[in-house]
Every structure is written in C-alpha cells, then in structure tokens.
Amino acid sequence: MYVINEEYLNSLGPEEREIIENLYYSLNQGEINTHQFFSSIKEHLGDDVLMNLFPVAPQERPQAEIKPEHLSDILQYSGIDLKYEQEAIIDTEDDQGYVEEGEDPNLQTSSLIDEVLFCDYVNKIVLSRQMNISQDTYHTLFLILRRKIFDMIDKIIQASKMRIDVERSEFEKKIVNDVKRQLWILEQNERRELEGLQLSQFDEQKKKLKKSCKSVRILSLKKE
C-alpha cells in the first residue's frame, strides 16, 4: 500500500535506517498500527525524511485500485486506522470529563437512542452512497453524535447566559427623586390632617352646644 523510496532509504545513515527497519518490522508484526508507524518516523527523523521516504501519497494512486463499495476498503487505501480513530475519540471523551472511571453505561448506544433504529438510519445513509460499514463503526458514530449533542447544549447555555447579561446591561438602574410626587404626598397628608382637625373642632362645638342646651333645660325646670 505504501511504497518506500529504497534509493533514499539507502542514502540514509545506519542509525536512521535501523530506526526505520525496526518500526517497519513492528508494523508487520502488528505491534503498532499505520498511524503510529508514520508518527514515530516523523518524531524521530523529521518531516523531510518522512516525505522523501514515502513520496507517493495513497490518494495519488489510480482510482481504479480503490473499491468504493466498502467503507473498510476505502479506509485501508486512505491509510486510516478505524480502531485507532475510535480509541482516539474515546480518549477525547475522557479528556472532556464525559467519561468516568470504569465502564460508563452512558457510553452505550442504548443509553441515548434505540440501537436498531440508529443502525437502520445509518445504513440507509451509507447505502444511498453505495457503501457498507463495519459493526465497530456504529459505536464510533454514536460517540461522535453524543459529543455533538453535548457541544450544542454547552453552546446553547453560553448563548443564553450571554443574552441575559446583555439584556441586563440595557437597563439603567438609579434612584430618582420625584419632586412633584413628593409635593403631592405632602399635600395629601396636610389635607388629611386639616380634615381631621376640622372634624375634631366640629365635634367639640357639638359637645358644647349639647351641654349648653342641657343647662338651659335645667334652669327652666327650676323656675317652674
């Protein structure tokens, strides 16, 4: 799948060739995957050595060599390790704090959606593009979907907080002394006091009048 530039390989020093040969042996033995193989060469020898050692990228191969009817075939031609990508997604979930220690039941597909309906829906999309997918891909797609939902909810919460803060800043809060209302209240209080005083004076006069009338009656009775 990947053609090594033997001429460039032979031009390298013995230490560099030994590193490449050891990594290539580990790749053939299944001890490391393709992604780890290229990453190790890049880490130990640099980008230039990697580019010169593999001058022809997989996507530059003729289209006739690619079988589009199976997603797994496309992945192997593109150099993508599905198992490695799935592990990377799970590790990312762990970094984000969505995964607790041990087996988290929330990471199971059935915890969020109906597995049968989910697989059927994915199959319809894939078949419409004339492809098939492996069984492991369903769980990977579920983790991606779960992450998208979490991210969307986080964005909605942030947008809500931002909107509330903006609306609060639009209102100016201050204490205003309304002179007219204060005068009106004083007038109402004075009016009540005056009415109370007048009522009190009227009652007093009424009592005096009754007392005077009573005295006149007593005098009249005495004269008789």
Q: Return per-residue pLDDT of the chain as tens, 224 residues.
A: 456 777 888 888 888 888 888 888 888 777 888 778 888 888 888 888 888 877 754 444 444 444 544 444 455 555 556 566 666 665 655 555 444 444 555 556 566 677 788 888 888 888 888 787 777 788 888 888 888 888 888 888 888 777 666 656 565 666 566 777 778 888 888 888 888 777 777 777 777 777 766 665 655 555 55
Closest CA to 95 of 150, 160, 32: 150
User: Tokens 């990977």 map to which residue?
Assistant: 140
Dmax over CA atoms of the chain, in Å, equals 158
pTM above 0.75, yes or no: no
**Token digits of residue 97:** 């704090």
Could you tell me if 124 and 70 are in contact, meaning their C-beta atoms sit under 8 angstroms apart? Answer: no
> Residue 36: its pLDDT value, please?
82
Query: Quick one: 132 exposed, middle or buried, by C-beta within 10 A (0-12, 13-18, 19+)?
Result: middle
Please tell me whether residues 162 and 101 are part of one structural domain: yes
Please tell me whether residues 164 and 178 are part of one structural domain: no
Could you tell me if 85 and 34 are in contact, meaning their C-beta atoms sit under 8 angstroms apart? Answer: no
**Domain boundary at 168, 185, 208, which?**
168
What Rg, from alpha-carbon coordinates, does the chain have? 45
Please tell me whether residues 184 and 212 are part of one structural domain: yes
**Token digits of residue 37:** 């193989």
Please tell me whether residues 118 and 143 are part of one structural domain: yes
Please tell me whether residues 68 and 132 are part of one structural domain: yes
Please tell me whether residues 110 and 187 are part of one structural domain: no
DSSP state of 129: T
**Token digits of residue 174:** 């201050």
Please tell me whether residues 14 and 48 are part of one structural domain: yes
Closest CA to 50 of 61, 28, 34, 32: 34
> Residue 64: its pLDDT value, please?
44
What residues make up the domain containing 42? 1-56
> Residue 157: its pLDDT value, please?
85
Q: Into how many domains does the chain fold?
A: 3
Task: Mark residue 30 as left, alpha or beta (left: phi above 0; alpha: psi -120 to 50; beta: remaining).
Answer: left
**Domain boundary at 168, 185, 215, which?**
168
Please tell me whether residues 117 and 193 are part of one structural domain: no
> Residue 61: its pLDDT value, please?
44
Please tell me whether residues 98 and 132 are part of one structural domain: yes
Please tell me whether residues 7 and 25 are part of one structural domain: yes
Please tell me whether residues 164 and 189 are part of one structural domain: no
**Domain boundary at 25, 56, 87, which?**
56
Please tell me whether residues 114 and 162 are part of one structural domain: yes
User: Tokens 């907080």 map to which residue?
Assistant: 161
